Structure 1
Amino acid sequence: VDFGEFSCGDEIRKVVQTLEQAAREILTVLQSVHQPSGFKEIPSKCAKARELFCTVRTQLGELKTKFPVEQYYRFHEHWRFVLQRLAFLAAFVVYLETETLVVREEVAKILGIQVVREKGFHLDVEDYLAGVLIMASELSRLAVNSVTAGDYTRPLRISNFINELDSGFRLLNLKNDPLRKRYDGLKYDVKKIEEVVYDLSIRGLAKDAGDK
């Protein structure tokens, strides 16, 4: 047994648990936008989420110290899932604020980590893409809840955004199996949002939305 690796893994797991807790707190704040009154609160909820990312930056700073820098991929499995969740949360905050797709550099900045592997602890491109795909299913849920809240313009904007996202992913040659499976889920999200938009147009509400 390599005791160095064992204690390393143990230390990493402890920090990852604190990161998971921080991710849950940010998600709880952002989930409230799905409530009927939540749309009015988007700016304040995003501001609160951004405050909580300060904790995440500190924790990721601590995580970096728990293993030799050149062994990122040796221990990557330990934090891969939580880093994807955090990438999703960062992407969701930026979408709610600007209705645009966050770039990997911006996610890395929000998380206080690097983009380039050579510079140390970084946001792997596949973890970034997985985060973006998790956000897509959150947006399909938001499209449905927008209608319930009487906001008929939002589903159309989400639909355009998700279709552009889908086109972008089609250009990628996804070899990574988990990412490939996640991308298959995007097709379902596209379909779900299209149904919402179709329902609005049948009810004559999409036209009103387009005029606003």
Structure 2
Amino acid sequence: MCTNHVINSIFTDFQRNLDLEQDNREAIRNICKDISQVLREVTTILQVIHYNEDGIGPACVKARDLFEKAQEGYARLKEAVPDHEYFKYQEHWRSITQRYCFLIALTIWLETGILATHDTVAQILGISAVEKRCGFHLDIEDYLSGLLQLCSELARLAVNSVTRADYEKPVQISKFVMELNAGFRLLNLKNDHLRKRFDVLKYDVKKIEEVVYDLSIRGLLPAPDAAV
């Protein structure tokens, strides 16, 4: 009887922990759904860059407003994730955060033509840029994945810019993506997902180079002092 009592007590504790973990996962999933909804709105708004040059500025303003809304969601997410268990639940928000890194980096590039730093993206999301005892933070690998998604989107933008007779933007994109490509080549990527994404980058670079080359042979490149 004593042995049975001990075993029952142990397994009762196991069940209590399993129930608590399930409750945590359910709360995290619900918050992630809300954050994903905002993500879809930002994605839709920024699609204007591919067909309406005049709509880019207003789209960036709207995206900024939605990033603030996303920040509220991440604040709730931080509260829901138990201390020191960031990596236990990370897969729930990993792909969402990678996508936000991409959209934030795209917005900043459209506004300024420069790279959004890891610290800047973390600040916009309202989370720490540095891991503190497995606390909630912006994983560097998620940030890098977002930058690789950015390169693919800019390759698409380079092609669509030509269709609306904007011959400066492909040159600007080419310079920026080539610099990013050089930066990624300095990394020894051990993450399988990142390595696969990096393999796609060479095709993005090739696509952009072909656009610029085609403009060159057609004599449509902007004058050197006008190129960005």
**Normalising TM by the smaller chain, what interval?**
over 0.9
User: Counterpart in 1 of 2:41?
Assistant: 25
Aligned 1:77-92 pairs, distance under 5 A:
77-92=91-106
User: Counterpart in 1 of 2:69?
Assistant: 55
1:156 is matched with which residue: 168, 171, 174? 171
Aligned 1:176-187 pairs, distance under 5 A:
176-187=191-202
TM-score, normalization: structure 1? 0.96
Q: Distance in 1 between matches of 2:115 and 2:29?
A: 31
The answer for unaligned runs of 5 or more in structure 2 is 1-14
Q: Give the conservation status (yes or no) of the 8 Å contact 1:104–1:128.
A: yes
Q: Could you say what secondary structure the match of 1:101 adopts?
A: coil
Aligned 1:1-212 pairs, distance under 5 A:
2-35=18-51, 38-118=52-132, 120-206=135-221, 208-212=222-226
TM-score, normalization: structure 2? 0.89
Q: Could you say what secondary structure the match of 1:164 adopts?
A: helix
| Higher RCO structure, 1 or 2 (CA under 8 Å, sep 6+) | 1
Matched to 1:129, the amino acid is L
Q: Distance in 1 between matches of 2:223 and 2:166?
A: 8
Structure 1 residues 6 and 209: alpha-carbon distance in aligned structure 2, compared to 1, 3 A threshold: farther
User: 1:67: Cα distance to partner?
Assistant: 2.0
What does the per-residue CA deviation read over 1:133-187, in whole Å, with 9 as the maximum and x for residues that have no partner?
0011000000001100110011011001100000000000000000000011111
Q: Deviation above 4 Å: which 4+ runs of structure 1? A: none
Matched to 1:98, the amino acid is T
Q: Give the conservation status (yes or no) of the 8 Å contact 1:87–1:128.
A: yes
Compare the two structures and name the one with the higher helix fraction.
1
Q: Give the conservation status (yes or no) of the 8 Å contact 1:153–1:209.
A: no
Q: Distance in 1 between matches of 2:115 and 2:83?
A: 30
User: 1:74: Cα distance to partner?
Assistant: 0.6
Q: Could you say what secondary structure the match of 1:51 adopts?
A: helix
Q: Give the conservation status (yes or no) of the 8 Å contact 1:94–1:101.
A: yes
User: 1:209: Cα distance to partner?
Assistant: 4.7
Matched to 1:142, the amino acid is L
Higher Cα radius of gyration: 2
Identity percentage of aligned residues: 52
The answer for unaligned runs of 5 or more in structure 1 is none
User: 1:211: Cα distance to partner?
Assistant: 4.8
User: 1:210: Cα distance to partner?
Assistant: 3.2
Q: Could you say what secondary structure the match of 2:81 adopts?
A: coil
